[in-house]
Amino acid sequence: MVRIQADYAGKGLQLIAINVNDASELPDDAFQDMKNRAHENRFNFPYLRDDDQQVAKTYGAKRTPEVFLFDANRVLRYHGAIDDNYRDPNAVKINYLRNALDTLLEAADIQTPDTAPVGCYIKWK
């Protein structure tokens, strides 16, 4: 995500990460730990906390990570996974989010607007 933000920031795009997990279920997702993680990993994008989980519920999020890409008019243009291999960045063959971003910048229709998000299920309160 850091590389994606760095590559697309100059093109007017902004990545935002939102942590929605219940911190009582996953203590590592508590706000202070989020701040530490953002600092240690040099996040170059806002990393927010959805403590009441309303944002996740509004968009129907189920997993983490799960991407929601909106255009300048706040129309959802892509939803799903960042790429086809979240476990090993070196084994990625399809960059779903990058493909969607490039297509969006070309003002074209995204050919694959929806992929299955992968990762852990959200820990609901």
The confidence band for 87, taking pLDDT boundaries of 50, 70 and 90, is: confident
Nearest to 117 by CA among 93, 88, 97: 97
Into which CATH architecture does domain 2-121 fall?
Answer: 3-Layer(aba) Sandwich (3.40)
> pLDDT digit string (tens) for 30-45?
999 999 999 999 999 9
pLDDT at 89 over 90: no
- Give the per-residue pLDDT at 86: 86
Confidence of residue 82 (pLDDT cuts 50, 70, 90): very high
Three-class DSSP category at 6: helix
Reported as a pLDDT band with limits 50, 70 and 90, residue 69 is very high
pLDDT at position 46: 98
Query: Per the confidence metrics, is the pTM higher than 0.95?
Result: no
| DSSP secondary structure letter of residue 38 | H
Annotate 55-108 with DSSP letters as a single string: HHHHHT--EES-EEEE-TT--EEEEE-SSS-SS-GGG----HHHHHHHHHHTT-
- 101 closest CA partner among 6, 25, 32, 36: 6
